[in-house]
Amino acid sequence: MHLTYLGTNALLIRKAGTTVLVDPHFTRPRIWHLFGKISANPRAVAAGLEQNGVDRLDGVLLTHTHYDHALDAAEVLRQASGVLYGCGSAMNLVNHPGLDKQKITPGRRYQIGALTVVFHSSLHLPFPSLIDWLLPMDGQISRPLETPAWFWHYAVGRVWAIQVDQTLIFGSAGYLPNSYKNLDIETVVLGIGGLDSQPAAYLENFYREAVLNSGAGHVLLSHWDNFFKPAKQVDKPHFLVRRAITRIQAFGKKHGQKVDLLKIQEPLLIKPSGEWKPSHFAAG
pLDDT at position 129 is: 64
Task: Determine contact, residues 22/61, Cβ cutoff 8 Å.
Answer: yes
* Block mean pLDDT (10 aa), the chain, length 284: 97 98 98 96 98 97 98 98 97 90 97 98 84 74 96 96 98 96 94 93 97 97 96 92 96 97 95 61 42
CA separation for the pair 161, 103 (Å, rounded): 15
Asked if 193 and 84 count as a contact pair (C-beta separation under 8 A), the reply is no
pLDDT of the residue at 282: 43
Cα(184)–Cα(170) distance, rounded to whole angstroms?
16
Cα–Cα dist 261/189, whole Å: 10
Distance, in Å, from the CA atom of 282 to the CA atom of 91, rounded to the nearest integer, reads 33
Question: What type of residue sits at position 49?
Answer: L
**pTM of the predicted protein model:** 0.94
The pLDDT value recorded for residue 281 is 45
Supply the pLDDT for residue 182: 86
- Which domains does the chain possess? 2-278 (3.60.15.10)
Strand partners of residue 169: 162, 189
> DSSP H helical segments within the chain, as ranges?
42-51, 67-70, 73-80, 88-91, 129-134, 200-207, 242-255
- b/e burial code for range 266-277 (CB count within 10 A of at least 16 → b): ebbebeeebebe
Separation CA 243–CA 260 (nearest Å)? 14
